[in-house]
Amino acid sequence: MADKILRDACKRIGVEGVSTHSFRRTALTQMSSAGIPLRTIQEISGYSDLGTLQHYLEVTPKQKQKAISVIGF
C-alpha cells in the first residue's frame, strides 16, 4: 500500500521510476558509501543473508576510486 501511495504522489508531480524499493536501495547504498560496516547495514535492513544485502547495494564510481587509491594502484 505504501508503494502505491508513493507512486501516485510522484505521478502527480511528474516524477517517474520511484518506488519504496528504490528508496530502500538508495538508503542502503548511502549507508555503505558512508563507510557503515555491511554487518551493521544487514542488521538495520533486516536481511538474514549478507549475500542478499550485497545484491541490493550499488557500487559507486567514488567507492571504486577510493578502493583503488587505498591499495595504491
Q: Alpha-carbon distance 70 to 47, whole Å?
A: 29
- What pLDDT is recorded for position 63? 81
Q: What pTM does this model have?
A: 0.71
The dihedrals phi and psi of 57, each to the nearest 5 degrees, come to -85, 135
Q: How far apart are the first and last CA of the chain?
A: 48
Q: Per-residue pLDDT tens for 13-26?
A: 999 888 888 888 98
The answer to whether 18 and 6 have CB atoms below 8 angstroms apart is yes
- What pLDDT is recorded for position 9? 92
Q: Alpha-carbon distance 69 to 73, whole Å?
A: 6
Q: Per-residue pLDDT tens for 15-60?
A: 988 888 888 898 999 998 888 999 999 999 999 998 889 888 888 8
Q: Alpha-carbon distance 4 to 11, whole Å?
A: 10
